[in-house]
Structure 1
Amino acid sequence: MAPPFIIQAGMSVVDYQQRNSHYVKKRIDKQPAGLNFYEYRWPVKENGQVRVEAGNAGFVIPNVLSFTGTEDAEYLEGGIFKFSIRSGLTPDEFIEHDQARILLMTHLQSLLTLGWKPYLRYHTYPRLLGKESFAYAIENGIYTPDPTYIPSLEEWMKLRYGGSWVFYYNDDFLEVSFERHSKFMKVEEPGVYLATHTLITIEAKGKNHFKDKERDNWQSLWVDIVKKFKKQRYEKEVELIQQGYRINTRYVEPKIHPDDPVEPDDVDELLAIIEQHAIE
């Protein structure tokens, strides 16, 4: 088996080429929109491997089909700021749904053991834990539930066609998601799963909170937008408290901007209600 392809968020193109020199057919796609794409696709029925370098929290993704790295042509010093790695859960196309559940949840537990921490988007993503977080994901469709919670097979199948979990470690952010083929959803029959690992730099994560030209000035705009987003989160949490949910006030935000942690003004009443219904 060939050695794993090595990637690291923010790695330079020179480093990317040198560390993966044994893969001679790496494809570079330079777009006029200002983004350069670095791609590799493994031959059919060949088990590719990608090694994600992240300090002491590095890991290997098996059964890789392909990946794409993205570089900003106008900000080359930022390196390849994003990698998207697509893989199967096993070498075979079909897999039992319960086996898929166990394999993916085991992988999430291993990331936590390595030191990756759960991440929730500031706006609209309430701080929930355990079964409540998974129930919220089932109900809302777009949410990153608590990765420490192992869903039952019944809960797993209620995730419709897929789900995602997001983590951070030092200056790296990682989203682990899966989707499954809608034609193979019978729990008693095998399904078809595709997993995606999206690795991005902390700066790219900060920019993702903005649109268009605002992205270039994200640091000067950060405090105001995070105050807005966090107030939306607290309002959503108070709304959920009225529905019987409890809030994980021990959740630790990552430090994305030098001014973090940023807190909104005039939310004392909301925070008092939240604290009364916090998870002990």
Structure 2
Amino acid sequence: MRAFFKQVFLGLPAIMLAAAFITGCSRQPIGENGKMTEKVSISANQPGDELQKKYPDRFTLSDHPSGARFYAAQWPSDDRGTIEVGRQGQAFTLRYALSATGNYSSAFPGENIIEWDVNTGMDSSSVIGHDEARRRFMALLQDIRKAGWKRYVDQGFPRLAGTDAIRYASLTSPVYGLDPDYQPTLDEWMKLPGRALWKFWSNQGYLSLALSRDPNRVDVNQPGAYFIEVVLLGENEQFRKMVGPARRAQWKDALPEELKLLAQDRQSAEDVLRAQGIKIEETYQDPPVPEQLTSK
């Protein structure tokens, strides 16, 4: 399932991106124009009933025959939302939110909402200058780091930083997570993969940000349009995705062998890169795996 895991974050359908790129709004962030902006708070493994109780008019509930349950919120393009991601004391804020969907699975009832998907823009308008977008996005990444989230490199991938990570994502794997502590120049920013990824982990779960740019607005001297998809997973759900859908129900039994295979993939990739003179970030350490999941 290693190939499946490496493809799990591939791009959104073009129609979804197009819809996001053409929407605009007049809402400003909190405090601007004296307007109060609604803010909702979400976190991994959050109880759905508490969410509905706290925001009774915001989230709609839908049940799927499979046993899945979805808590969905949408904001109009002229009145976007503000979302606080993470539990108190370790949260960061997303502005200009378009939608948020929480996924509950009856197969794992004790885990509550196992996944959040949030779609958001970069500005109150549908367009923004490319350099301004770069500065805002890098500021968001630093807010995430300050909130206690650490960089995450998928176990099957080499440990690279800075421009080496960008080059690997551009030439080898579009799902490779870039270095959040490296601030690209404007020229590097304009050459990022069409859907660039940054990934994090903390004691709150696993987080990914996918940044997409309107391919029809790539003139650096003209405004661009950007779209951000944020995925927040509970820890167990992250591991289940690692072993793939075929072994989802037996993920605890499948995980130890999968981790061994992923470690071999990383070693092989890093050996090739070292031979090319590329620096491997030896100080990077994978997130801890709960002991009960590796002692099978």
Q: Same fold (TM over 0.5)?
A: yes
Q: Match for residue 171 of structure 2?
A: 139
8 Å contact kept, 1:165–1:177: yes
2-side partners of 1:260 and 1:76: how far apart? Answer: 19
* Residue from 127, 136, 144 that aligns with 2:159: 127
The 5 Å alignment of 1:6-45 reads: 6-21=41-56, 24-45=57-78
Could you report, residue by residue, the CA deviation over 1:92-136 in whole angstroms, capped at 9, with x for unpaired residues? 10011111111111111121122110001111x110112222222
Residues 100 and 75 (structure 1 numbering): CA distance in 2 closer, same or farther, change over 3 Å?
A: same
On the 8 A contact 1:57/1:115 being kept in 2, the answer is yes
Report if aligned partners of 2:252, 2:293 keep a CA contact under 8 Å in 1. Answer: no
Q: Which consecutive aligned stretches of 4+ in structure 1 deviate over 3 angstroms post-superposition? A: 259-262
Task: State the TM-score, normalized to the length of structure 2.
Answer: 0.83
| Matched-pair identity in % | 27
Which of 251, 263, 273 is residue 230 of structure 1 equivalent to? 263
Equivalent residue number for residue 22 of structure 2: none
1:1-280 correspondence runs (5 A): 1-21=36-56, 24-123=57-156, 125-140=157-172, 141-258=174-291
Measure how far apart 1:5 and its partner are: 1.3
- 8 Å contact kept, 1:9–1:81: yes
Deviations 1:61-81 (A, max 9, x none): 111011111110232221011
Quick check: 2:255–2:294 contact (8 Å CA) kept in 1? no
Deviation string 1:206-228 (CA, Å, 9 cap, x unpaired) is: 10112234112211221111011
Report the CA distance between 1:153 and its aligned residue.
1.1
Q: Deviations along 1:216-241, whole A, 9 cap, x unmatched?
A: 22112211110111111010001011
User: Gaps spanning 5+ residues in structure 2: where?
Assistant: 1-35
Matched residue SS, 1:17: helix
Shift of 1:179: 0.7
| Aligned-partner residue type, residue 129 of structure 1 | A
**CA gap 1:168/1:15 in 2 versus in 1, 3 angstroms:** same
